[in-house]
């Protein structure tokens, strides 16, 4: 089975998972912005990865293009984010990014990434400062929100090789 991993990564968390997946599955890796339809036509399975930015998956346009272009391939999408990945969060990410028809064509996985303010782009820094202000003014922040606030000064990295196990088992079941 020929497998390709296509990912976009701003600060490296999604890249970590793409690298581990390629090592374990013997898959070829492409950077999302550089991949063309021609590059992917011979693969049986396409695994797309991207970070979450305000609940949107980085690279979603490319992912949607290939879902419609290759209806007969196995398509897996993974997103990385700073949040712990509770079921309701994952459900809302799926609904926000994929139509009902697209949801039937893919299998989605959430792999926890991290957060490093120093690696954010200037625009992302502005967005994250706004979020910080909102969180700082909350009278009763949740433990997750307090964890996020701490991450502005102490970067967090939850990426771990073993986190890809469920995705790997799924792909190897084909
Ligand atoms: C502007 C901005 C918005 C973000 N929005 C979310 C979000 O909605 N949910 C989440 O879990 N993480 C969010 N994050 C954290 C990133 O998703 C996380 O750092 C991810 O692992 C980044 O992957 P990458 O470095 O491979 O692009 C956000 C980060 C930034 C900078």
**Cβ 49 vs Cβ 77: under 8 Å:** yes
CB of residue 16 inside a 6 A radius of ligand 1: no
Output the CA 109–ligand 1 centroid distance in Å. Answer: 15
For the CA of 16, the closest atom of ligand 1 is 26
Whole-number pLDDT of residue 34: 85
81, 123, 149: which to mutate for ligand 1, most atoms within 8 A of CB? 81
User: Does CATH number 3.40.50.360 belong to domain 3-116+156-172?
Assistant: yes
Q: Which two tokens stand for residue 46?
A: 């396409």
CB of residue 56 inside a 6 A radius of ligand 1: no
CB of residue 54 inside a 6 A radius of ligand 1: yes
Whole-number pLDDT of residue 33: 83
In the chain, where are the structural domains located? 3-116+156-172, 117-154
The b-or-e profile of 151-163 (16+ CB within 10 A means b, else e) is bbeeebebbeeeb
What does the alpha-carbon distance between residue 156 and residue 13 come to, in Å, rounded to a whole number? Answer: 10
The per-type count for the chain, helices as H runs and strands as E runs, is: 8, 8
Q: For the chain, which residues score pLDDT lower than 70?
A: none
**Cβ 43 vs Cβ 83: under 8 Å:** no
Whole-number pLDDT of residue 62: 95
Output the CA 42–ligand 1 centroid distance in Å. Answer: 32
When the pLDDT of each residue in the chain is averaged and rounded to a whole number, the result is 96
Q: Give this prediction's pTM.
A: 0.96
Handedness of CA 60, 155, 131, 91 (dihedral sign): positive
Whole-number pLDDT of residue 152: 94
Chain segment 99-125, per-residue pLDDT in tens: 999 999 999 999 999 999 999 999 999
Whole-number pLDDT of residue 26: 97
């Amino acid at each position: 089975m020929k497998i390709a991993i296509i990912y976009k990564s701003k600060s490296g968390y999604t890249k970590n998972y793409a690298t581990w997946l390629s090592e374990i599955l013997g898959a070829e890796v492409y950077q999302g912005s550089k991949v063309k339809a021609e590059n992917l036509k011979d693969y049986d399975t396409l695994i797309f990865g991207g970070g979450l930015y305000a609940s949107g998956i980085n690279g979603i346009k490319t992912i949607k293009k290939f879902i419609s272009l290759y209806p007969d391939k196995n398509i897996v999408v993974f997103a990385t984010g700073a949040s712990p990945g509770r079921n309701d969060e994952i459900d809302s990410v799926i609904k926000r990014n994929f139509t009902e028809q697209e949801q039937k064509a893919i299998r989605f996985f959430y792999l926890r990434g991290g957060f490093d303010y120093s690696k954010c782009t200037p625009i992302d820094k502005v967005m994250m400062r706004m979020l910080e202000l909102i969180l700082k003014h909350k009278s009763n922040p949740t433990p997750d929100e307090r964890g996020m606030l701490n991450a502005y000064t102490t970067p967090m990295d939850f990426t771990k090789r073993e986190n890809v196990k469920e995705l790997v088992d799924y792909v190897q079941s084909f």
